[in-house]
Homo-oligomer: A and B are copies of this chain.
Amino acid sequence: MAVGLHQPDQLLAVPGIKLAAGHCGIKKDKNIDDLVLIELEGGSSVSAVFTTNKFCAAPVTVARQHLHGQHTPRYLLINSGNANAGTGLAGEENALKSCQAVADIGKVNVEAVLPFSTGVIGEPLAVDKIAQALPQMFDHLDENNWLAAAKGIMTTDTLPKAVSRRVDINGQPVTITGISKGSGMIKPEMATMLAYIATDAVIADELLSSLLKRAVDLSFNAITVDGDTSTNDACVLMASGKSGVQIDSQNHEFIQALNEVFTLLAQAIIRDGEGATKFVEVKIEHAASMKDANNLAYTIAHSPLVKTALFASDANWGRILAAIGRAPLEQLDIDSVDLYLGDVCLIENGLPHPDYNEQRGQTEMRKQDITIRVNLHLGEFSTTVWTTDLSYDYIKINAEYRS
C-alpha cells in the first residue's frame, strides 16, 4: 500500500559505523529480525532528540541519562516488537540490563550504550533473549548492513526506509546514510518513529546538535498521519569523523544533503503511513505568524473529513474551507483566502473560482501525490507539512494490531 515508496537502493557505507541485525525472539516469526546493534568508532560525536510525550518509555529515560553521562556513546541497541513502555521501574531496569549486556561484550561503560525500543506497550522486555543473541550480533557487525538494520527496526512498516547521499567538500567525499521506521502514530515532536542518520564528516558536538534540531524541524516534525504521538521514539545523528573532513555552519552543500536525507526518511514514513493511499503536501502561505501557519496546516492535515475526501479522490473544498474556518488562528480574513489543489485554483478571495469545476478538481484528486495550498494573504509566514489520507486500511491496521 506504500504510496510511491520503493525498496531502498545504493546504500553507502559510512566509515566508522558498523551495524548488525538479527532475530532474538521478541517477534514470533524467526525470519523477521527484531534486534539491531550499531557500533560507533571511538571519537564519534552523537546527538539525539526524543519524544515529547510525557509518558516516555523506559529506554527513552535511560538513553537520555546515558547521553548526559560521562561516556560518549559507542553502541546503539534497538529492539522492535516490544516498546518497553508503561513498564515502570522494572522497564528501566530491563533497559539498563540490555545496555550492560552490550557493554560487557563491547568492553565499554554502560553509559556508552543507548537503548531504543519500538512495538507493543505494556509488556516486559525479554532481556534474556536479547543478551543471548548479542554475541552473534557482535560477530556480524559490518559497515554494509544498513539495509538489514532498516528492516530490523520495522514494526507495521511495509517497506524498509533508507537513504544515502554523498557530497564532495573541497574534493573530498563525505557520506550520509540514514534509516527510519514508523508508519502510524506519526505527529510532530518525535512520534512513534525511530531514525538513525550517520556521516563520516567531522562535526563538533554543538554544531551536530543544532544541525540535528534544524533537520528534524524540516522533516520529522513536519509529518503527521493521525495526530497521535508515541511514548518511545527518537532521532539520532552520528558523525564518525573518519573522512577527516571538518564541517562548519557554512558548509551549505553538506547541510542541504543532510536535510534532504532527513526529509526523504520522514516522507518515506508518510508514504508508508498506515493505510495510506495518498501522499499529501499541505502548504500554508502568507500566514500572519508561524504559529498560525502551523496551526492551520495541522488542522487541515488532521481533519478526518478532509482525509476521507482525499481517500475518495473527492475535491470536497467545502471540508477544507470548514477546516480553515475552525482552525485556531489569530488572524484570518475569509475574504482573502485562496485555495489550490496542485495548480488548480478552487477558491479565490474566499469564494469558488469562476473557472473551477468538479472535473478539474477530480483530476487533481485522483493523483497519488496531492498538494493542498492555502494562501492567507496576511503576512510573511509559510510552512509545509506532509500527511496521508484516511482509509479503510488505517482502521483495519489499528483495530487489529494486537489481535
Binding site for B on A (CB under 8 A): 52-56, 83, 85-86, 88, 120-122, 184-185, 187, 189, 191, 226-231, 302-305, 308-309, 311-312, 314, 316-319, 321-326, 332, 334, 347, 350-352, 390-392, 394-396, 398-403
Closest B-chain residue to A312, C-beta based?
B399
- CA gap between A396 and B402 in the complex, in Å: 24
Contact check, B227 vs A303: say whether CB atoms are below 8 A apart.
yes
A122 to B55 alpha-carbon distance, docked (Å): 44
The 7 closest A-B pairs by CB, nearest first: A121-B318, A55-B325, A312-B399, A308-B398, A53-B325, A226-B304, A54-B325
Q: Tell me if B305 and A226 are in contact (CB < 8 A).
A: yes
A121 to B314 Cα, complex, angstroms:
13
Q: Is the CB of A332 within 8 A of B54?
A: yes
Residues on the B chain within 8 Å of A402, using CB: 314, 316
On chain B, the residues within 8 Å of A303 by CB distance are: 226-228
Q: Is the CB of A229 within 8 A of B308?
A: no
A135→B392 CA distance, assembly (Å): 46
Bound-state CA distance A305–B351 (Å) is 35
- With a cutoff of 8 Å between Cβ atoms, the chain B residues found around residue A229 in the complex are 322, 325-326
Partner of A311, one of B187, B312, B334, B399: B399
A322 neighbours in B (Cβ, 8 Å): 53, 55, 121, 185, 228-231
Q: With a CB–CB cut-off of 8 A, which chain B residues contact A120?
A: 318
Q: Measured between C-beta atoms, what is the minimum distance from A328 to chain B in Å?
A: 11
Contact A86 B304 (CB under 8 A): no
Given A55-B334, A398-B308, CB of A88 within 8 Å of CB of B351 = yes
Whether A395 pairs with B399 at a CB distance below 8 angstroms is no
CB neighbours (8 Å) of A52 from chain B are: 326
What residue in chain B is nearest A121 (Cβ atoms)? B318
CB pair B86 A325 closer than 8 Å: no
Contact for A228 among B83, B226, B314, B326, CB less than 8 A: B326
- How long is the Cα–Cα vector from A83 to B402 in the complex, in angstroms? 41
Contact A86-B326, Cβ < 8 Å, known A54-B334, A304-B394: no
Choice from B86, B185, B308 contacting A317 with Cβ under 8 Å: B86
A31 to B52, CA, bound (A): 54
Q: Which residues of B contact A316 (CB under 8 A)?
A: 121, 401-402
Sample 30 A-B pairs with CB under 8 A, ordered by A number: A52-B326, A53-B322, A53-B325, A53-B326, A54-B325, A55-B324, A55-B325, A83-B318, A121-B316, A121-B322, A122-B318, A122-B352, A189-B326, A226-B303, A226-B304, A228-B303, A229-B325, A231-B321, A231-B322, A304-B390, A308-B394, A308-B399, A311-B395, A312-B400, A312-B403, A314-B401, A314-B402, A316-B401, A316-B402, A391-B395
